[in-house]
A and B are shown apart, each in its own frame.
Chain A
């Protein structure tokens, strides 16, 4: 039983990471209608940036977190301006192909430089145990960090003027432009928020895993699985889907096989498509 609970907690921690990445993807999809396939690679860049900050510049972990988020937010804005904006009126699939180009560019660039399997030290190197459950402090930090960020994001969208503008653009782009909302600025803001979320996920996760050029590619596929699982463009769908997939995966790794650990998510995707193509929550078509 305690083994099972342990796996569930690990699953929630995995899920927290997925939620942060999938939420950004959902924001970009729901508001801008872009399938941002290189999102996972900005996450990967976030992890490398953290490594540079911590081991070369000797910045404290907690200070490095906001620095990474801001730096990557800027990176997200650059990506939006240089790649997605010129493609705005072209067919969807062209935007997606451009995203694949960015995906290839970033992954092969980092791989060519060859800093593989790097790791950063944990800020709190402790293991808690109670009632037969043992858990590393970092895992709790990931879970707590995700909850805080998701709540902040929710408050931002529901309570601020800017957040309301974002919702307006998501509902009707032309209508929002008509009432005087600067749609270009909202696009940039969306990318900034989404990429900052991915960077936060990378910084929180980095002490638990190795940093490698490939870390973004499998993650982005899983994030897409979550977006489809939750219902395209639905934010609560992304949250529920993310935790669900995380727990499912942790249990599958523990009880079925770890060699195939990356495959379960994709099997889930094919099952969803076969039985419930609209996802758990009704998103947009």
Chain B
């Protein structure tokens, strides 16, 4: 029974969720809600990318807000001003972000723990200030237009496109995590000194993980730009780095579906609460983050996973591989 569940249960469940996601625009969702879900899924892609470096490699990057903005701007500038075609600009958005991530990672990944978080946050503030003041680049307060290609002109088309990218990103991240590379990442997370001692060049792997993570978050930024068809410097705000952190931790750090669940759920929740709570809804974010890290450090999916393992009486084995970030 359990063997069967393991073999067919999970893929079947994933297909079911995917099916529901595909059907959503046609079963009574308002156009506005399709837009909210599209944005939420773009954020989910960014959250998945943060999870790759935070959850699996154990490095808390607080620069993903900046990288999201850089991806968005790279896409905006290459389509609107350079006039490249959509696919090429989309790819370039990821590559430019990855390159910058690589360069930022070179000095900053030599620091550990909270200091890496602080250095990356400093980088985010620098990027924000540059985009705020360098109006030639960012378009200043008016921002700049982002053209939308013909095949994405319809709202549902953009929805499916973002969904497809999300699924693709999840498949790639799953492939990485299940491979030897993923095991190496996780060994750095659980004990960096030990990993170093057995001959793993931890710096090189952290840099790789960070660069890949930046590539994905750059794509997410481009998707946000396409959906909004407009960009201004606030997209590089470090507040977004914090938001992504909350999404990942609430959904479940170091799980595949956790960041998606956290991002979509919380983004939707925030949008829903806008009318009743106004600005106060962000106060909840801080509160939720504190309570979550003290009482539920594994998040929703991590908690469910542990519950499932516990039901199966494999608690001891599970404990041996510690999941905390």
A and B part of one assembly: yes
Give chain A's interface residues, CB within 8 Å of chain B: 35, 37, 83, 86-87, 90-98, 100-109, 111-112, 114, 218, 221, 224-225, 228, 259-260, 262-263, 265-267, 269-270, 273-274, 277
Are A273 and B111 in touch, CB under 8 angstroms? yes
Shortest beta-carbon contacts, A-B, top 6: A105-B286, A101-B289, A104-B286, A101-B290, A112-B279, A266-B122
Query: 1/0 contact trace for B269-307 toward A, CB 8 Å?
Result: 000000000111011011111101110010000000000
Enumerate chain B interface residues (CB-CB to A < 8 A): 58, 60, 62, 107-108, 110-111, 113-115, 117-119, 121-123, 125-126, 129-130, 133, 242, 245-246, 249, 278-280, 282-283, 285-290, 292-294, 297, 324-325
Is B110's CB under 8 angstroms from A96's CB?
Answer: no
Partner of A96, one of B60, B108, B288, B292: B60
Given the complex, which residues of A lie within 8 Å of B288, measured CB to CB? 101
A103/B286 contact (C-beta < 8 A), A269-B122, A270-B107 known: yes
Assess whether B114 is in contact with A92, with CB atoms less than 8 Å apart.
Answer: yes
- A106 (CB) vs chain B CBs: closest residue: B286
**A97 close to B289 (CB less than 8 A):** yes
Q: Contact: A104 with B242, CB < 8 Å? A: yes
Cα A37 to Cα B289 with chains together (Å): 14
Q: Say whether B117 contacts A83, CB under 8 Å.
A: no
Q: What's the dominant secondary structure at chain A's contact region?
A: helix
Say which residue of B129, B278, B289 sits within 8 Å of A100 (CB atoms): B289
Q: Is the CB of A260 within 8 A of B129?
A: yes
Pairwise interchain contact A112-B283, C-beta atoms closer than 8 A = yes
Q: Besides the contacts A104-B286, A263-B125, what 13 more A-B pairs have beta carbons closer than 8 Å?
A: A35-B115, A37-B114, A87-B293, A96-B113, A97-B289, A101-B289, A101-B292, A101-B293, A104-B242, A112-B280, A228-B118, A263-B130, A273-B111
Question: What is the CA–CA distance of A102 and B113 in the complex, to the nearest angstrom?
Answer: 18
Nearest B residue (CB) for A218: B125
Closest residue of chain B to A38 (Cβ to Cβ) is B286
On whether A221 and B297 interact (CB within 8 A), knowing A92-B113, A277-B110, the answer reads no
CA distance A265 to B111 in the complex (A): 17
* 12 intermolecular pairs with C-beta atoms under 8 Å apart: A35-B115, A90-B297, A90-B324, A101-B286, A101-B287, A102-B286, A105-B290, A224-B118, A225-B122, A263-B129, A265-B122, A277-B110
Chain B facing A: main interface SS: helix
B123 and A108: CB pair below 8 A?
A: no
A-chain residues with CB within 8 Å of residue B290 when the two chains form the complex: 83, 98, 101-102, 105
Chain A residues with CB under 8 A of B121: 221
Contacts A101-B290, A104-B282 given: A273-B125 contact, CB under 8 Å?
A: no
The answer for the CA separation of A161 and B301 in the assembled complex, in Å, is 49
Contacts of B297 in A (CB 8 A): 90, 94
By a CB distance below 8 angstroms, the chain A residues around B115 are 35, 228
From B125, B279, B294, A108 is in contact (CB under 8 Å) with B279
B114 close to A86 (CB less than 8 A): no
Is B289 a contact partner of A273 (Cβ separation < 8 A)? no
Pairwise interchain contact A273-B107, C-beta atoms closer than 8 A: yes
Q: In the bound complex, what is the Cα–Cα distance between A25 and B110 (angstroms)? A: 22
- In contact, A104 and B125 (Cβ under 8 angstroms): no
Q: Give A224 to B114 CA distance when docked, in angstroms.
A: 10
Q: Are A94 and B325 in contact, with the CB atoms below 8 A?
A: yes
Tell me if B110 and A97 are in contact (CB < 8 A): no
Known: A87-B294, A104-B286. A35 touches B123 (CB 8 A): no
Contact between chains at B118 and A221 (CB < 8 Å): yes
Considering the complex, give the chain B residue whose CB is closest to the CB of A83.
Answer: B290
Alpha-carbon gap, A96 to B112, bound state (A) = 12
Is B119 a contact partner of A270 (Cβ separation < 8 A)? yes
B289 adjacent to A112 (CB under 8 Å): no
Question: Are B324 and A273 within 8 A (Cβ)?
Answer: no
Chain A residues within an 8 Å CB radius of B58: 93
- A262 to B129, Cβ gap below 8 A? yes
CA distance A111 to B121 in the complex (A): 21
Are B289 and A98 in contact, CB atoms less than 8 angstroms apart?
Answer: yes
Instruction: Look across to chain A and name the residue whose beta carbon is closest to the beta carbon of B238.
Output: A217
Residue of A nearest to B241 (CB): A100
| Minimal beta-carbon separation of A283 from chain B (angstroms) | 12
